[in-house]
Amino acid sequence: KGGAEETGSKINVLLQAYISRLPLEGFALQADMVYVEQSAGRIFRALFEIALRRGWADLAKKALLWSKVVEKRFWSVQTPLRHFKEIPEDILRKIEKKDIRFEQYYDYKPHEIGELLRAPKLGKHIYKYVHQFPKLDLAAYVQPLTRSCLLVELTLTPDFQFDSKVHSSTEPFWIFVEDTQQETILYYELFVLRQSQADQEHTLTFTVPITDPMPPHYFIRCVSDRWIGAESLLPVNFRRLILPERNPPETELLDLMPLPITALKWPKAEQVFYGATGKLNPIQTQTFTQMFQSDDNTLLCAPANSGKLQC
């Protein structure tokens, strides 16, 4: 876009030439190309960080993708197997000419891949690279804590062969929770998969806001920080999700016999419960078992000066 004399047009052409690995002639163009090479990736990473913090889902995904495209120097429409430098260029072009989605190669056996590409000797190697491409399977359990807060337990299962020569010692993945329109990032986290844990399931627990009226679904997206095309998407349906009541009923105060302070069996604590009666008040009596004989978490809400602080 733009005229040939505009600065933006020149940068656009140089960026495309750099990604496509096109050679340029002339000292001036080569000097400009060095600037593009050094700056483009950092600019896209900065845009990604800004979009991430502001919750702009579409811009964040595009900026992250472009930063990887600039770093790896191949386009997202090309085969992800271009990450593996050992594959000959003519084989990569054969793969890209085939009307076959990359995911379909997971279903092929080594000899079938070799026959498909008319390179029987390379079938085993291509099969290995396909299964070394990072892939995480996602499963989620959701539970409403309140009408505006949702607990999510996300299980991530690695489904690829981790090789330190290919993946180094770690593989980072971005976890995004997006709204129904996939326009807003409700939650994000960087998950780092280590080689020592590559054969284990991993669980992330976090909370996300939920609006009223309740949306039909959210989307959980897992995107590799390094690999182009390494992405998983999990729709989370809320069709059967039941939210808590708007105003939960109060706990009825029972007519119980007040417990004596000596029931605490703790002299230092007995000094806190001062009073002429020498007994616990109704709220303290009713909550005694839960507070003093249990380690479970408890939320106690009561009026001021009701003795709840001593509980």
Amino acid at 268: K
pLDDT score recorded for residue 97: 94
Given CATH 2.60.40.150, say whether it is the number of domain 136-237: yes
What is the pairing mode between strands 170-178 and 149-158? Answer: unpaired
How many angstroms from the chain centroid is the CA of residue 272?
Answer: 48
67's CB contacts (< 8 A; 6+ apart) are 41, 44, 45, 48
The rounded percent of the chain whose pLDDT value lies above 90 is: 66
Closest CA to 77 of 58, 63, 96: 96
pLDDT score recorded for residue 90: 95
Pair 231, 224: CB distance under 8 Å: yes
Q: CA–CA separation, 109 vs 159, rounded Å?
A: 17
pLDDT tens, residue by residue, 163-218 = 999 999 999 999 999 999 999 999 999 999 999 999 999 999 999 999 888 999 99
Q: CA–CA distance from 23 to each of 82, 139, 247, 265 (Å)?
A: 19, 46, 68, 85
Instruction: Give mean pLDDT, residues 107-111.
Output: 95
pTM for this model (two decimals):
0.80
pLDDT band per the 50, 70, 90 thresholds, residue 271: low
How many angstroms from the chain centroid is the CA of residue 296?
Answer: 31
pLDDT score recorded for residue 282: 85
pLDDT band per the 50, 70, 90 thresholds, residue 300: confident
- CATH H-level superfamily of 1-75: Sec63 N-terminal domain-like domain (1.10.3380.10)
Domain limits, the chain: 1-75, 78-133, 136-237, 250-311
Euclidean distance between the first and final Cα of the chain, in Å? 70
pLDDT of 310 higher than 70: no
Q: Residue 8: phi, psi to the nearest 5?
A: -60, -35
Topology annotation, domain 78-133: DNA polymerase; domain 1 (1.10.150)
**Strands, DSSP E only, in the chain?**
136-146, 149-158, 170-178, 185-194, 202-209, 217-224, 231-237
